[in-house]
């Protein structure tokens, strides 16, 4: 479709691209982040990154407390 600067048309439609995946919380950081990973094809848990956003406060507090409980058991 043709782009027309400054003009809205039905030729261009904005859609949200949603990608989802599952991760395992492997630990937490002192600044309230979580360390996450995934199992690869060899069933080896691989580090994927830190998650520090995207949680509601109540979800975050619950996950952080659960992680602390597991860490000390």
Which residues are CB-contacts of 39 (< 8 A; sequence separation ≥ 6)? 24, 45, 46
Q: Is the pLDDT of residue 60 over 90?
A: no
Say yes or no to pLDDT of 14 above 90.
no
pLDDT of residue 56: 67
The per-residue pLDDT for 29 is: 80
* pTM for the predicted model, two decimal places: 0.55
Q: Which two tokens stand for residue 44?
A: 């080896």
Q: What is the pLDDT of residue 1?
A: 66
How high is the pLDDT of residue 32? Answer: 72
31-60 mean pLDDT: 84
């Amino acid at each position: 479709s043709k782009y027309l600067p400054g003009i809205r048309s039905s030729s261009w439609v904005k859609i949200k691209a949603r990608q989802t995946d599952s991760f395992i919380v492997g630990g937490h950081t002192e600044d309230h982040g979580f360390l996450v990973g995934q199992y690869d094809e060899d069933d080896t848990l691989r580090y994927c990154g830190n998650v520090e956003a995207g949680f509601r406060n109540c979800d975050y507090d619950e996950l952080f407390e659960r992680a602390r409980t597991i860490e000390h058991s």
